Amino acid sequence: MGILRPAFLVFENVSGLVRRSKRKYLAGIINGLLDLQYSVQMKVLDASDYGVPQNRRRLFIIATAFDSLLPGWPSPCSDPKTSVFDAIGDLHFKTERKDGIISTYKNDNPEPCSYAGKMRKKLAHRDASVLYNHRPDKRSAPPPGRRILSWDGQTPTIMATKSSRFACLHPGIPLEQYSN
């Protein structure tokens, strides 16, 4: 940073950096930026406040050279918040599949203003009505403690870990349909 000296930078990481046990790392980042003569501000934002159907709290640090003004933080825009149903409510649970990995959506043309419609608008036309790697028939018994998502809520943060204890089960599949 001292060599390139960017006029503006954004740092994003886990919100856990603000915890007492991790504050020394956060202080090192902030003090390093202040030593390099940057103005610094930080805030924890939750993706669910910005249209993402997931509770995902992240720490953001914005820094600018002292001769630049720091921008303001975006205002939350999701009211009501995007739900799991908004995101995946049109997926088939059991379907005929081609080549074992392709299925179709229940609704080929979701409302353009709906979450599903906005996400599929970004797909190539040929891919807008198919879903790849959706394997609703491959169910095994869920590990103890796994949560079934709520259609009305947001998914928790899915953690990248070898443990499957943070994974969640599809809200549309009753627990008894999982094989033992």
Residue 148 lies in a domain: no
Whole-model pTM: value is 0.72
Categorize the per-residue pLDDT at 135 as very low, low, confident or very high, splitting at 50, 70 and 90. low
CA angle 161, 163, 165 (to 5 degrees): 115
pLDDT tens digits, residue range 48-101?
A: 998 889 999 999 999 998 777 888 899 998 678 888 888 877 765 544 445 544
**140 and 167 in contact (C-beta within 8 Å)?**
no
The per-residue pLDDT for 95 is: 47
Q: How far is CA 1 from CA 7, 10, 28, 58, in A?
A: 10, 12, 14, 22
pLDDT tens digits, residue range 19-47?
A: 999 999 999 999 999 999 999 999 999 99
**48 and 81 in contact (C-beta within 8 Å)?**
yes
CA angle 96, 98, 101 (to 5 degrees): 95
Between 68 and 109, whose confidence is greater? 68
DSSP three-state, residue 15: helix
Residue 26 lies in a domain: yes
User: How many angstroms separate the CA atoms of 91 and 129, rounded?
Assistant: 10
Domain that holds residue 24: 8-65
Residue 60 lies in a domain: yes
**Residue 18 dihedral angles phi and psi, to the nearest 5°:** -85, -10
The per-residue pLDDT for 101 is: 47
Residue 102 lies in a domain: no
Residue 13 lies in a domain: yes
How many structural domains comprise the chain?
1
